[in-house]
Structure 1
Amino acid sequence: MNNTASDRPIIAFDSGIGGLTVLREARVLIPDRRFVYIADDAGFPYGDREEEALKQRIIGLFDGFIKTYDPEIVIIPCNTASTLVLDDLRKAFPAVPFVGTVPAIKPAAERTSSGLISVLATPGTVKRAYTRDLIQSFATKCHVRLVGSQTLARMAEMHMRGDKLDDAALLDEIMPCFYEKDGKRTDIVVLACTHYPLLVNVFRRLAPWPVDWLDPAEAIARRALSLLKPNVDGVEPEHGDDIAVFTSGLPDFPTRRLLQGFGLNPV
């Protein structure tokens, strides 16, 4: 393709619909670009998949995405994919800038008053050395509890499709985030999976005490904006051209309706 930078879309890639939280922020900050949202729903959920197989799957998918869409930049809202394969993607496709997502441990450490932080993530993100390195680098003066959930990403997808969730089951998933130490309580929970902000209003309602639920979406969007070249022609694209691609090829009706609510045309 011989597109100018402003003609080339921004890809946002996630294992499911969780990355829509980041896409929403990116479209606010970057109104002069087209977006292609790609959900690897055929591989969902990522959190409990075998690492090497998942890595090869994502690299193989991107070989096709880069050739098909010629993106100006790629945003990967998915924590699991970012912590696993971001460096490999940058090496495989050096001409394309990649913006990844890592648990927001540094801003949490800067913001906490009690020094007690929880990181709510998928099992894959919890066990990854990358996450523990972030704690060692930025939060050594804090007590950080890593909480891995096998089911919250699925629950978030169900919630956004209009399914009713069981409050008790949700509370079981988030309760380990809430703990007390030396008379102090958890005051920040890092949402280290892009699906989890989809449930944040439910989390607030069920939480045993108020905490700051830290969503990295805006920070990711700002980072993407900083890497873009100016749109020299000054013409903003029609966001009706923004599309959503599902690797299964078969998003169901509630998902298609949700995508349209985000201004995306399923293809």
Structure 2
Amino acid sequence: MVAPQATDATANGAKPILVFDSGIGGLTVLREARLLMPERGFIYVADDAGFPYGGWEEAPLRARIVSLFETLLARFNPEAIIVACNTAFTLAGADLRQAFPEMRFIGTVPAIKPAAERTRSGLVSVLATPGTVKRAYTRDLIQSFATRCHVRLVGSENLARMAEAYIRGEAIEDADVLAEIAPCFVEQDGARTDIVVLACTHYPFLANVFRRLAPWPVDWLDPAEAIARQARRLVPLVEGQEHPDGFDFAVFTSGNQDFSTRRLMQGMGLSMSSVG
């Protein structure tokens, strides 16, 4: 059931911004987008029924994402969509734009270009999901922007789940986290990795843990602010418009959220709804 306030507000012309992720990682992007777009209402959509995306085969995941967006666009009629998931956008971004040419999509891709521009050592690591690591899109970014760097791609099977558990207040073991991030740290010809790109929106939740466990200091590059700035550039500013009523709710595709998830959404100022 869709929140009735959303239908009324859309009918009055106040279209929301939809933020989409496989889980709760996109909350890092939502937080930044709200600061830059205070006159807009937001709907947060988590495809937790399909989480985690990193282990999916490409064809069925692409079909799932496009099908899900058919439902989301029909029900919520957003002004724009922020796809706050590297795995989803690097796989299905082109399909979404082709299927819904009238919709404005703001994508999330690994921040390889800014990392290549900032590195001093020339050693950059990209910490991502297995799906993002194997994607041709990611390797094209390296070829386009980072040919003068040594870029190590590190695909973690477990960090997205760990981040979801951590942000819900569950305990995670330092040794388990360190095992996932250790391959990011490279020493070569007297130089060391100095930038690690967080190429999954879940990972910034663990940034302080990463800093504490890292064998040496690095710049952990969080793309959330850059994504929000791009959204602000693409979505028209409505002068004098106050923040609309009826939005600021979260949709979970499983329809089954535990107490910790509901408390987290409440802490973000989001009420709960569902797709179907």
TM-score (ref. length: structure 1): 0.97
Which residue does 2:73 correspond to in 1? 66
Task: For 1:107-146, list aligned pairs within 5 A.
Answer: 107-146=114-153
Aligned to 1:224: 231
Q: 1 CA distance for matches of 2:247 and 2:157?
A: 35
Question: What is the rounded CA distance, in whole Å, between the counterparts of 1:5 and 1:229 in structure 2?
Answer: 17
Aligned to 1:173: 180
Would you identify which runs of 4 or more consecutive aligned residues in structure 1 move more than 2 Å? 1-6, 238-241
1:78·1:101 contact (CA, 8 Å) conserved in 2? yes
The equivalent residue for 1:246 is 252
CA RMSD for the aligned pairs?
1.5
Equivalent position SS for 1:189: strand
> Are 2:24 and 1:17 aligned?
yes
**Number of equivalences:** 266
**In the alignment, is the contact (CA less than 8 A) between 1:120 and 1:148 conserved in 2?**
yes
How big is the shift at 1:231?
1.0
Counterparts of 1:182-261 in structure 2, within 5 Å, are: 182-232=189-239, 234-238=240-244, 241-261=247-267
Q: Distance in 2 between matches of 1:28 and 1:87?
A: 28
| Rounded Cα–Cα distance in structure 2 between residues aligned with 1:170 and 1:228 | 37
Q: Distance in 2 between matches of 1:246 and 1:21?
A: 17
Deviations 1:169-219 (A, max 9, x none): 100000000010110100000000000001000000000000000000011
Tell me, yes or no, if the aligned pair for 1:6 and 1:33 is still in contact at 8 Å.
no
TM-score (norm 2): 0.94
CA distance, structure 2, for counterparts of residue 239 and residue 148 of structure 1? 40
Question: 2 CA distance for matches of 1:74 and 1:84?
Answer: 16
- SS of 1:119's partner is strand
What residue identity is the alignment partner of 1:254? S
Query: Is the CA contact (8 Å cut-off) linking 2:10 and 2:16 kept in structure 1?
Result: no
TM-superposed deviation, 1:258: 0.6
Structure 1: gaps (5+ residues): none
Change (3 A) 1:240 1:153: same
CA distance in 2, matches of 1:82, 1:252: 27
Structure 2: 5+ residue stretches without partners: 1-6
